Amino acid sequence: MTPAKSLLAADPRTRARNRAEARFRALGLGAVLLGLGALVLLVGTILANGAGAFRQTYLTIPVTLDADRLDPAGTRDPADMAAVTTFGYAPLLAQALQQHLRQRGVAMEGIGPRDLMAIISQEAPAQIRAMVLQNPDLLDRTLELEMLAGGRIDGYFKGRVTLQSAERDANVSPAQLVLAQAMADAGMIETRFNWAFLTGSDASGQRPEAAGLGVAILGSLYMMLVVLVLALPIGVAAAVYLEEFAPKNRLTDVIEVNISNLAAVPSIVFGILGLAIFINFAGLPQSAPVVGGLVLTLMTLPTIIIATRAALRAVPPSIRAAALGLGASKMQSVFHHVLPLAAPGILTGTIIGLAQALGETAPLLLIGMVAFVRDFPAAPPEGLFDPASALPVQVYNWTQRADPAFVERAAGATLVLLGLLVTMNLIAVMLRRRFERRW
């Protein structure tokens, strides 16, 4: 016989089972926390990498716009002055900087004229040239001009470049950084919020400090416009038919299976479709928002159809019965009563579909949206056919550049993208909270 045991003391087998229970539970909690941790890590690293893109370093120095050099013909006619390229403006800036530094008594140890020029962004001469060409009256005046600092100098003030890393860097020397610090102490260099990042256009691979998201944001906006205009009516119409009118037969079965499968087709396949049909067959231009919009429309349709059907199904049959009972036709009951009641759900589904479309990258690569685009597209409808970029593609584009400063830009662009997505999803959640009705 087994010895008598107290009921209050667990036997070894029960203890083992309880331990297994606790272990299992801890594993489950661990998995949830791992998932949450991954989310935090993902967003955290992007935030850490990208926050710098929203701040930019500028330097302000007095520059004399020497008319003899910028307008050798002396006509003050912008057409003649355009003969002086940015190479004519660059030495002017370098001289002005050198002179100003001497006046202010800032030490320039180990800095040659070439090193001095590297403190100013290569974009600065172009900006000043554009300003002078627009307003030739500025010539021969001395102006306090603000210009972009070079990418490495910018990186130094954001902590991306340090004196140690500069020793291994061919593009910047520690002496330049020391000088930049001295200039900052003298109030010539400041780092502040970077509007140009949101409004400017892309810049070439040597000028990360000048690269902005303007064209990409506009391109994404145009595409969302196309998606909204096409996918919302078509998706709602398809859903209304399938949910309210379609007879149960083979054809509707085929359509339904089709829609649920389309939702799971890899996005890159839609890119191939867009390339083959819209560009190669229909002859639409590459890189155009209209093509991107069409491809994204096809991708968004299943989302909107599925959301709309769910919203229609949530409207109780009594509404339809009441409308029919008062003499409305089937069509009138749907369009006058059911559809308005389903509108919040449809809207929510549409916003979520748009948010998905906004973040989609792969199909846009295939229809040529990776091209380097500096010019803003025109206003719609013509602008829909102009080359443009898109936010997620711009992120990809910047990660492909050699200069590490573009990583900061790419992460910054990702933050803009995530900010837009969060806003859209919050709007969807708010709509749902505000208008959701339960019968």
**HSE of 4, CA atoms in CB hemisphere, 13 A:** 1
Amino acid at 213: L
Q: How far is the CB of 83 from other proteins (least distance, A)?
A: 16
Binding residue for other proteins, selected from 10, 11, 15, 45, defined by CB under 8 A: 45
Q: Where do we find the tokens 């306090």?
A: 144
- Report, in Å, the least distance between residue 365 CB and other proteins: 5
- The candidate with the shortest Cα–Cα distance to 197, out of 206, 181, 188, 208, is 208
Task: Indicate which single residue of 153, 296, 342, 411 sits in contact with other proteins (rule: CB under 8 A).
Answer: 411
- Our finding on whether 416 is near other proteins (CB under 8 A) is no
Give counts: helices (H), strands (E), the chain: 20, 3
Only one of the segments 118-126, 136-144, 196-204, 324-332 lies at the binding site for other proteins (rule: CB under 8 A); that segment is 324-332
Helix residue ranges per DSSP H, 315-404: 317-325, 330-332, 339-359, 362-366, 391-399
* 195 contributes a contact to other proteins by CB under 8 A: no
Whether the upstream peptide bond of residue 381 has omega within 30° of 0, thus cis, is: yes
Of the candidate spans 20-28, 69-77, 128-136, 160-168, the one that interacts with other proteins by CB under 8 A turns out to be: 20-28
Number of residues that bind other proteins (CB under 8 A): 88
The closest of 361, 358, 389, 395 to 375, measured between CA atoms, is: 389
How far apart CA 183 and CA 60 sit, in angstroms, is 10
Please tell me whether residue 238 binds other proteins under the rule CB under 8 A: yes
242 interacts with other proteins by CB under 8 A:
yes
Q: Shortest Cβ distance from residue 218 to other proteins (Å)? A: 18
- Within 83-142, the residues that bind other proteins by CB under 8 A are none
The footprint of other proteins on residues 355-374 (CB under 8 A) is 355-356, 358-362, 365-366, 368, 370
Give me the amino acid identity at 419: G
Nearest distance, CB of residue 239 and other proteins, angstroms: 8
Nearest to 90 by CA among 55, 114, 56: 114
8 Å CB contact between 255 and 241: no
- For residues 282-321, which are near other proteins according to CB under 8 A? 282-283, 298, 301-302, 305
Handedness of CA 84, 85, 91, 96 (dihedral sign): positive
Q: Which of 11, 15, 36, 186 binds other proteins (CB under 8 A)?
A: 36
In the bound complex, what is the minimum distance in angstroms from residue 198's beta carbon to other proteins? 18
Is 40 or 322 the residue whose CB approaches other proteins more closely?
Answer: 40
Tell me: does residue 233 bind other proteins (CB under 8 A).
Answer: yes
For position 264 contacting other proteins by CB under 8 A, the verdict is: yes
Query: Quick check: 281 binds other proteins (CB under 8 A)?
Result: yes
CB of 271 to other proteins, least distance (A): 8
Phi, psi of 10 (to 5 degrees): -70, 140
**Amino acid letter at 90?**
A
Q: How far apart are CA 239 and CA 255, in angstroms?
A: 11
